[in-house]
Chain A
Amino acid sequence: MSYRLGVDVGGTFTDLLLVNERTGQTWTAKVPSTPADQSVGVLNGIAKVCERAGISPELIEHVMHGTTVATNTVLTGTGARCGLVTTKGYRQVLQIARSFVPGGLGGWVIYNKSLPMAPLSCTIEADERVSASGEVVRELNEADLRAKLEALKAKNIEALTVSLINAYANDSHERRIAQIAREVMPDIPVSLSSEVVPEMQEYERAVTTVANSYVRPRVQRYVHNLTTKLATQAKDVKLHILRSDGGLASASSAQEYPVNLLMSGPAGGVTGALWVAVQAGFPNLLTVDVGGTSTDVALIMNGEPRLRRETTVGDVTVRASSVDIRTVGAGGGSIAHVPELTKALRVGPQSAGADPGPAAYGRGGTEPTVTDANIVLGYLPEMQRLGGDMELNRGLANTAVTKVGEALGKRVKDAAQGIYDIVNENMVGALRLVSVEQGHDPRDYALIAFGGAGPLHANALSRLLGSWPSIIPPGPGVLCALGDATTAVRDESARTFIRQFSETSAKEVHKILTALAKDAAKSLEREKVPRKEMRFGYQVDVRYKGQGLQLTVAVDLDDLLKRGLAAISGPFDEEHKRLFTFALPLEHELVNLRANVQGRGISIARPALAKGTADPKAAAVGKQKTYMDGRDYTATVYDRAKLKAGNKVAGPAIVMEMDSTTVILPKHQGTVDKFGNILIYPDGYQAKSKAAASRRAASSKKAPAKGRK
């Protein structure tokens, strides 16, 4: 009998989900996180969940883990001291970046640029040159380089990056420099741009590879530490780390290419949300993860999260695939304020964070936050304990929100309603980025909300977007652990291959894709994934000759041989038309070719909820005065643990559980499904839903392409 374990380490809690691989039976546990050394919390959790399951930790074979170590290293600026080797003439590649100044006309006046992750004082130039077509124009001057590396070593760097011009076309000089570096500084990890991201664009390649070096020592320490500790519990256990793109990396690959882990944590949430929603019958959905300072949103079409070829953390954007998650600075701790000159109501991006936190926490915060507004509106009842033990002080929330009310000349509850509405609008802005801006109609998607504060806003967001139902899964923390546990091992291999269609052939493309697939399968073979369980996928990035950005088109290898390159150009033109309303009579050009391979996921049997009647009154625990849509209502408060499958909860209602609270607005109704999800629809929606269903069906039939840069 073997088990696998999903582990999500959050700011407050570490959630675990244990799965019996044969029966699909699951157990969950929640323990406090241990920020000083996260592995302590993980081990505590393992002990607890194993005790619940009545098994020995020895039986755990796979541990799947989403981690925020890489993310936090970037956000807190605590990465390694990085050395960088560039081509002569390009020492300042990170200093100049793309010359971009954010903020619109005159934005430079207030723009202070942050320092590059590899300091200029630790950047050296290699005397060498490769041309755009990959030929060596100038041989590498090894003696000169060796001397410079010695000098760099004396500066106590902790990691080294090599990123040379045109290395995507020919990596020989980068590899040679790595050899020399290993001789000069054997203990320093070396990252090569031609390995980390072998694609055109010197700045993006350099910054990505440097980011890899920057987070590498910390991630290495963490993963090594965790592996060692896990081994004391179960000697054959294999640790897998969730990657930003929703795939799994082995512990060794995670240590070598940690730049792929920058979105590891949020990707777990999306994967979990996907799993829950697909099970509930909604393969097209928008995910909304509302935390204390920010909200992460993503779009999933036909059960596949959209991927993006870049990852952004703080003000660092790198070229690494990630689930297309957009973050907006709007969360429970976002502060509302009224600027003196405009008298407008603004919410965020400033946040009260966890400390002092919202005014209602009583930890000295006096600025009105979104959480305070939710309290004033009655959405967070006083009997609710955030995270199980934190008391909310309604009086302090009222005082804080009153400040905004006075500045606007409004009653306190109207001010609170304003804050609630504006923050929802900010979240909708992010949701539009992943939907409307990518050519997707949000009305064709359901919306799933998690994170502590997600279910407070879900109903309102669904209404703004027309995305029904609003899905509120049970236990928002477990969702990420569930995502971790259900993820399949996945790897990908890519190369830049810029060719106009007239310069290549379907045969050649077929050959390269097949070779890439073989390469990508290697890491799965190392994980002992049987060949017959591997699922291969092929993608190419295409554009019109001379166009800048490319669209990603999924390729079927058989179709490619049968129809030739038309199997690529046809879907590309269609997608271009769908997104931009026109296609062009121009030659197509290939840019990147990619193959990915993944092992089989796991099937989990979620315990079905006991069936009840439509009437939820057995779960009702009280009444609460609320203010919704500018009117006073008395809402019924329910205990989620007591809800049964088939219960229909009519709004206005508040549903409480340990780590989240759900708001159901007037004229809406939440139905509890057999897995314990609450599905919120507006009253009378069923009648209209046919149109949406047919739209949804139509939209899932096309969709030749997915994931775009």
Chain B
Amino acid sequence: MPAKIILKNKKPMKKVKVDTVTIDIIESALRSARYEMDTVLFRTAMSPGIREQHDEFPMIANSEGKMVVGQFGSFIHGFLAGYEGTVEEGDIFLTSDPYSVNGAISHANDWLAMMPIYKEGRIIAWSAMFGHMTDIGGKVPGSLPTDARQIYEEGVCIPPIKIFQGGVLQTDVLKVILHNCRLPMWNLSDFNAIIAALRTAANRCIEISNRFGDDLFYSAMDEMLERNKRAMRELMRRTIPEKKQYFEDYLCDDGMGMGPYKIACSMWREGDKCIFDFEGTDPQSIGSINFLLNEEMFKMFAGVYMIMVFDPQILFNDGFYDLMEVRIPKGTLLKPLKPAALSCRTHALGRIFDVLGGLLGLGNPAFMCAAGFSDSPHFMYSGYRANGEWYQLYQIGFGGIPGKPFGDGPDGHSLWPAFTNVPNEFLESYFPLRIETYETIPDSGGAGRFRGGNAIRIGYRFLEPGEISIHDDRWLTYPWGVNGGLPGMRSKKIMVRTDGSEENMPSKCDRVKVEAGDLLYFDTWGGGGCGDPLERDPANVSFDVEAGLVTVEGARRYGVVVNEDGVVDAAETTKLRAKMAKARGGVQLFDRGFTSIDELKSRCEAETTLPAPKAPEFTRRTAAVVKPKGKSKGKAA
């Protein structure tokens, strides 16, 4: 039964004609309000994840719940469809249960708050925001257990509830939730910050509505959606071919010794409608790498990606949703059945962007970007200090931005909007560790006419005994290159113990004990290269060599012969380039760095010292729902 919306004022909003300039004005005002939500949140949240790294997403939707400004698309509609109860003035809803909102949030660490904005008895808009909580209890610090098999192991999970009812905070409920978290003060202040941000948006919407009138505000938002739909229809007609395109990519492993998992997607256009079909994706994992993908959110990803590549002027909102259809088979990695574990979904979430890039690029190779830092790897470190105080760090890592037809990918940057690193001096003053190395890794970016960004190496020296968790990927499969560009370097983690011994760590692990003095090198991965490396201007290669971002040896991947000081030997370069071009032949559309999954696995241990993962086993339950076509070892495209 859908939610029952209580309106004291039954008068419906009236659609009125809005002058185009007024729409622009309201659009700017709403955009400012959205940024103001961020500002309020950053200033008052307490967990470094939200405060420093900005792992949060605000949104303002119209009275029907369609996102007008924001990033990830609206989940209000899904929430309303599934919520059994009333929506009343003064209510604010809170949930962290992905299954109750069809994946609008995709693991229980994300707390989503939603607020209907009432004005004179009617809902004029909605504000919503979700943010990642550093800890929500459960079996491991950070609440992202690699080995969880059910969501019940992943900490406190909040079904959609009214955390404010008629304007009154339900303190007992909040108490119950906080009681289950390891760092309740962080949760409390992050929660407060989110609520303050929602209220800020509410005040702004009411101000705008006062200024222009409710009907006009309503109609302008409608027109903003319509305007976006028109622009997107045009864009899709031009860029999405009617012929079916197919692309697949992989998650390397599940942290339990099985992998890779395949994500497959086909895309085509039928008239004005664009269809994305994930048929062929592997069944859900028995572990926690499942990603409950919300169809609407995927539409937003696809739309935003198109906008960025083809026309960044378009402001994106939910307007174009009718123009897309997303089909995700139930029981797959991207539509797991409750109570499948979900906490470590970050890798699949990131990989979706590589899949999208590949799909869209197939139809428009000239606009294609390489595969990049499609993940947010996590590092966690916790324990008790000598004085008995509990410390717990959750940190998101960054890597190489892909090479793109418009330029090189930056080194060691974030693919996620607004994310920033935590200053190392901050880490050192609040946690018992020292960051001894913080640099990008030469040659880790894939060579190309536009090179991929370099990966980051962080050297963590632990100063207290404790436990660490690592959540990373792309240690087995490569961030691929396009249009002749080479793949970027894969990730690795090396633990150097105080006795001098070195050990490669698996890319996903929990509860790894560390002692004071141990050193962990966390190497993320580079971005793939874009375009033929033999066409890169030797002056750019020389610049990178002088800067130490590419080595003398690495320059040879571009066919450039250069010395330590960056001086290019032009004659030798011409010769080498001719020789390489001949040996290589034409350029490939994709360079995945392997010919088949079996071939990749066969050299895994020699290259990484880690055993190759076994082919995934799936549960009987999902096997009944999904009938995978053959085994998960598709040939590389």
> Do chains A and B interact in one complex?
yes
Query: When chains A and B are docked, how far (Å) is the Cα of A101 from the Cα of B404?
Result: 14
Give the residues from 571 to 590 in chain B that come closer than 8 angstroms, CB to CB, to chain A: none
Taken residue by residue from 345 to 385, chain A's Cβ proximity to chain B (1 for < 8 Å, 0 otherwise) reads as 11000000000000000000000000000000000000000
A202–B424 touching, CB < 8 Å: yes
User: Looking across the interface, which residue of chain B has its beta carbon closest to that of A549?
Assistant: B43
A579 at the interface (CB under 8 A from B): yes
A111–B549 touching, CB < 8 Å: no
Query: When chains A and B are docked, how far (Å) is the Cα of A107 from the Cα of B308?
Result: 7
A92–B412 touching, CB < 8 Å: yes
Give the chain B neighbours of A168 by CB distance below 8 A: 425
B429–A341 touching, CB < 8 Å: no
Among A119, A344, A586, contact of B24 (Cβ-Cβ < 8 Å): A344
B375 at the interface (CB under 8 A from A): no
B199–A581 touching, CB < 8 Å: yes
Among A93, A106, A121, A202, contact of B566 (Cβ-Cβ < 8 Å): A121
User: Looking across the interface, which residue of chain B has its beta carbon closest to that of A630?
Assistant: B19
B440–A92 touching, CB < 8 Å: yes
Could you say which of A132, A200, A549 has the most chain B C-beta atoms within 10 Å of its C-beta? Answer: A132
B424–A165 touching, CB < 8 Å: yes
A685 at the interface (CB under 8 A from B): no
Query: When chains A and B are docked, how far (Å) is the Cα of A101 from the Cα of B372?
Result: 14
Instruction: Return B97 CB to nearest CB of chain A, in Å.
Output: 24
Taken residue by residue from 541 to 554, chain A's Cβ proximity to chain B (1 for < 8 Å, 0 otherwise) reads as 00010111100000
Query: When chains A and B are docked, how far (Å) is the Cα of A168 from the Cα of B426?
Result: 12
Among B304, B410, B423, contact of A113 (Cβ-Cβ < 8 Å): B410
Interface footprint category on A: 35 or more
B438–A90 touching, CB < 8 Å: yes
Give the chain B neighbours of A99 by CB distance below 8 A: 398, 412-414, 419-421
B42–A344 touching, CB < 8 Å: no
Stretch at the interface among A417-425, A511-519, A686-694, A699-707: A417-425
B414–A342 touching, CB < 8 Å: no
Give the chain B neighbours of A582 by CB distance below 8 A: 44, 192, 196
B292 at the interface (CB under 8 A from A): no
A1 at the interface (CB under 8 A from B): no
Give the chain A neighbours of B199 by CB distance below 8 A: 581
Query: When chains A and B are docked, how far (Å) is the Cα of A114 from the Cα of B309?
Result: 20
B246 at the interface (CB under 8 A from A): no
Q: Given A99-B412, A110-B406, A580-B196, A422 and B24 touching (CB < 8 A)?
A: yes
A103 at the interface (CB under 8 A from B): yes
Instruction: Return B213 CB to nearest CB of chain A, in Å.
Output: 16
Instruction: Return B521 CB to nearest CB of chain A, in Å.
Output: 11
Among A109, A129, A422, contact of B308 (Cβ-Cβ < 8 Å): A109
Give the residues from 408 to 454 in chain B that come closer than 8 angstroms, CB to CB, to chain A: 408-421, 423-426, 428-430, 434-440
Query: When chains A and B are docked, how far (Å) is the Cα of A544 from the Cα of B235?
Result: 48
Among B413, B434, B566, contact of A101 (Cβ-Cβ < 8 Å): B413
User: Looking across the interface, which residue of chain A has its beta carbon closest to that of B409?
Assistant: A108
B467 at the interface (CB under 8 A from A): no
Query: When chains A and B are docked, how far (Å) is the Cα of A579 from the Cα of B44?
Result: 10
Give the residues from 17 to 66 in chain B that come closer than 8 angstroms, CB to CB, to chain A: 20-21, 23-25, 27-29, 32, 36, 39-40, 42-46, 48, 51-52
B438–A89 touching, CB < 8 Å: yes
Give the chain B neighbours of A581 by CB distance below 8 A: 196, 199
Among B231, B308, B419, contact of A342 (Cβ-Cβ < 8 Å): B231
Give the residues from 66 to 89 in chain A that come closer than 8 angstroms, CB to CB, to chain B: 89
A112–B32 touching, CB < 8 Å: no
Give the chain B neighbours of A498 by CB distance below 8 A: 429
B563 at the interface (CB under 8 A from A): no
Query: When chains A and B are docked, how far (Å) is the Cα of A417 from the Cα of B19?
Result: 12
Instruction: Supply 9 A–B pairs (Cβ within 8 Å), ascending by A.
Output: A95-B547, A101-B413, A109-B309, A113-B413, A121-B547, A131-B434, A133-B429, A201-B426, A546-B430
- Beyond contacts A104-B418, A121-B546: 4 other A-B pairs, Cβ-Cβ < 8 A, are A108-B409, A108-B410, A425-B25, A548-B52
Closest 3 CB pairs of A and B: A120-B547, A106-B308, A548-B51
Binding site for B on A (CB under 8 A): 89-93, 95-96, 98-101, 103-113, 119-121, 129, 131-133, 137, 165-166, 168, 200-204, 339, 341-346, 408, 417-418, 421-422, 425-426, 429, 432-433, 436-437, 498, 544, 546-549, 576, 579-582, 584, 586
